[in-house]
Structure 1
Amino acid sequence: MSINMDEVKKLQEELERWKIQSEKMKNEKTTLYLKKVALGDKQEELQKELDDLVLKKKRIQDDIKKQQDMFREELLDLQMKRDDLEEDEAEIKKKLSENEKVFRKFQDTLMIKSQLPQKNLNFKGINSAENADDEPMDIAYTCHIIASEPFVLEGGQALLTFENEQVAKSVIAKRKHPLDINDKKVFVEVQEPPLGKSVKFEVNMNISNKKLKVSNLPQDLPEETIKDKVELTFYKSGIGGGEIKNVDYDRNNNTAYVTYLQNGVAQRVLKENSYQLMAGKDTHEVEVEPCMYIELNKLQMFSSVSSRSVLITGIKNVDDEEEEDVKDLIELHFQKESNGGGEVESIAFSQDRKIKPIFEEDLK
């Protein structure tokens, strides 16, 4: 068998091409493998970033939910406070209305129905008939008021007032006193009551016996018409009226002031709080009240001192005792002369609550 060299050469060349092709494919395979490894690392890195983002998203969602819950609770709390405030406002308005009614009733009683204190009068002379009506016949009240910050007696404290000022000074000088409470000695401390500053002033109130105030008048009538209607209404004898000296009208406040010629007429009319005023075909209910003139005089500021009173603090171990029993125990101790005490005029004791004792001007 003869071998053709040309064919051998072709086969060798073909073999070389396959080797080259194989090497090339091998390189490509290696390259692809490396790319796959790189992509796997990248995918792992991206997956990790994705997991981090998911976790971060969950944290943010949890924070948002917590804030929403917190805001919801705050909103509910604010709504409850608003409801409480509305209830308080309604209660305050109700009490204010009740107080206004009580004040109005007291005012009416004070100005019209009260009996004035008796006062002895001596005969001096006779006024001439022509100037008798010119004499003032108004009702005058004068009262003295002392205003101060209220003194508060706390739990475990007592307030004693002695009949003698020197006794108060003596027990304060000793300062600490032993009390037998529940078979135990309790040392209490005695000091002056811290009363602070007070204000004293005089209030002078004059109630006119000839003049009254009319309010709630119709606003759509001319001034002269209103004055005429007021005069016609309050001149009538059926309501206790009488001859009118003049009528003054204040359009800004929609009120009129009626001045009678004689004393006592205004007080008769003021027995009623309201009257019907006719204006054409319309009827208006108008209100009447006395004309008052109030002045504040003799304003004084001073430091309050209670020279016969003492404050006792540190009263302990009395939870099982009745307040009256503790008061008796305290009073018994501070009445004994051997303890520097003396006769007790009054006593107040607070076991577990706040008390506001009343202080009056000492006339002794």
Structure 2
Amino acid sequence: MDSEEDSFVQLPDGPESPEQLRGEIEQSKVRPGEGTDRLDPDGPESPEQLRREIEQFKELYSLLEQDCVKLQTAKEATEQRTQELRKEGKVLHKILEHQMSLNRGEERAHQMELFAAQEENTRLMKEKQVLKNKLEELKRVPQGDLVMMQSGLPEKKMVFKGLAANKDDMNKLMLTPRIRYPLPGGSALITFEKAEVAQRIIEVKEHVVKLSCWEEVEDLDQCRMQVQAAPVEILLPSALEIRLTQSSRSIIVSDLPKGDIPDYALLDKLELFFSKKKNGGSEVESREFQEDSRQVVLTFREDGVAELLIERGYIEVPILGEKYKVKISPYMNGDITNLQLQPSCCPRTVLLSGIPDVLFDESMRDTLEIHFQKASLGGGEVDALAYVPAGWTGRAVFVEDTG
């Protein structure tokens, strides 16, 4: 900061104001016609004193001008800083408005996500309640009277993939049921070689399984877990009526060559061959390789192409430099007209539930298999075991027991 001498003008000793000084000067002037004898030694100041006072006032004026310049410079600097601050304030205001807009957008997005999640949760809760009600109804129906008719099932389209052994079997359709069974987390399905072992495990209901973890530590007690055993009940078809219709755009290609030909290469060759009009085909819409029967289903975009190929019966197809005689058969669509189901219990399979998530998957499977193989605990030889850890869901597929 400037000192007081730089910031303020110090008035010299003398008159209190310029007006008083001018009055004193006027009194000191000699009027015309008057002699020096009229000067009062105690009266006005002499010219020399007046000159000194004038010089002092000049210095005072110079200081005032310097102060004025400093004040003007400070004023200009203040105005410039004020403009800069206003510009910064406008920029900060725009940034704040933009950030508030983004925050509002994010808040709306979060609200929409929350609303969608709530609607999905409500829908799932309703579906859960509906399924729970249906399950309660099934439990109240006696097992001998549990029959589900076609009116309670959605329409299903079925495809015949079997082969007739002789003429007597032409009017028969053999189906192999594949039942999908949902498995919740913390459960396992264990299948024994003998049905009586499974029955003993089910009768006990609750089993205490020892977890021999860290066996090298002698003073650590063995852990234990408690699981529940229950029978596995599924619904199997007892009566089935299907209306079969021949597709006008699809064919089944069989008698395919066996060897080192990859499935995708075989599909490419067949699609290329049957898409040409000179071979009696047309543009192929879709293709499907059936691994269980080693047959290929080809679907054309045009109607009538399949019928002409079926009439030919057999066609030679060049594949990898050789010609193979393949068979062309009709592709049959089936609509279920009547389906009756009855409950059935899997004799050799047991459902284990309430399994805690305390071991890795492989370790838990080994622990369960070792425990239920012990004859001293009522177990026996295990044929298969499937485990679903807590927090996951699984699906088991049951097929006909041929053992």
- TM-score, normalised to structure 1, is 0.40
Under a length normalisation based on structure 2, what TM-score does the superposition of the two structures give? 0.37
